[in-house]
């Protein structure tokens, strides 16, 4: 993987590379990512996360739910530095060890981000312009989280695997929302669901 592949500056690529090394170091201790996906870290996690940043509308506050190993929260924070230093990122992670990892990454990489350690359904509403969640829950549950933490007029970006259409149909039974499914660049069967105007049926 090169800076040209990601269409970023060499400085940004160097930060992403530093983050990759942090993930590898900490995974040995706290299992941030699966062993089998370590070999594909750039493609499966970095590039997969980076495509969300390209789809985001203009924003001030981006909230990433269940940030885990920092995908996409840390990755989009790094990419934002190249464009604007005013955008803020909030990473929500209830696992204290992963929260410690995220805070370490934020400090070492000098990112404009903070970590909230708590349960998504219990913390104060975060009023996000953009809300993301990767590999966290079914769409039906994610929409509940979005109802709580996404500001009016905000956009949710939810990467989903090959069963995204099934989840979408199930969610329609409880929720009304505008959904633009965008084919994933890293998996032709997957999609990023760009969602707005969420309300209960």
Of 16, 82, 91, which is closest to residue 61 (Cα–Cα)?
A: 91
Instruction: Say if residues 46 and 12 touch (Cβ distance below 8 Å).
Output: no
State the residue for tokens 């005013």: 86
- The confidence score (pLDDT) of residue 4 equals 67
- The confidence score (pLDDT) of residue 3 equals 62
Domain residue ranges of the chain, discontinuous segments joined by +: 3-200
pTM of the model: 0.95
- The confidence score (pLDDT) of residue 43 equals 85
Residue positions forming the annotated binding site? 66, 71, 120-121, 134
pLDDT at 181 over 70: yes
Q: What is the pLDDT of residues 106-132, one digit of tens each?
A: 999 999 999 999 999 999 999 999 999
Of 78, 82, 151, which is closest to residue 91 (Cα–Cα)?
A: 78
Q: What is the pLDDT of residues 50-107, one digit of tens each?
A: 999 999 999 999 999 999 999 999 999 999 998 776 899 999 999 999 999 999 999 9
Q: Which residues contact 63 (CB under 8 A, 6 or more apart)?
A: 89, 90, 92, 126, 128, 130, 131, 132, 149, 150
Specify the fold of 3-200: Rossmann fold (3.40.50)
Residue positions forming the annotated binding site for S-adenosyl-L-methionine? 66, 71, 120-121, 134
């Amino acid at each position: 993987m090169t800076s040209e592949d990601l269409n970023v500056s060499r400085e940004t690529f160097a930060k992403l590379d530093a983050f990759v090394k942090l993930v590898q170091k900490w995974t040995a201790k706290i299992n941030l990512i699966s062993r089998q996906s370590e070999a594909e870290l750039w493609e499966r996690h970095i590039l997969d996360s980076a495509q969300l940043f390209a789809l985001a509308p203009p924003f001030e506050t981006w909230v990433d739910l269940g940030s885990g190993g920092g995908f996409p929260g840390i990755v989009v924070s790094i990419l934002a530095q190249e464009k604007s230093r005013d955008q803020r990122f909030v990473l929500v992670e209830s696992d204290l060890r992963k929260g410690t990892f995220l805070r370490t990454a934020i400090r070492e990489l000098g990112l404009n981000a903070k970590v909230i350690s708590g349960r998504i359904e219990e913390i104060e509403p975060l009023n996000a312009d953009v809300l993301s969640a990767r590999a966290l829950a079914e769409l039906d549950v994610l929409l509940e989280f979005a109802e709580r933490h996404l500001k009016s007029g905000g956009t949710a970006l939810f990467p989903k695997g090959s069963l995204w259409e099934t989840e979408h149909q199930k969610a329609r039974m409880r929720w009304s929302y505008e959904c633009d499914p965008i084919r994933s660049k890293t998996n032709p069967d997957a999609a990023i669901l760009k969602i707005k105007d969420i309300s209960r049926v």
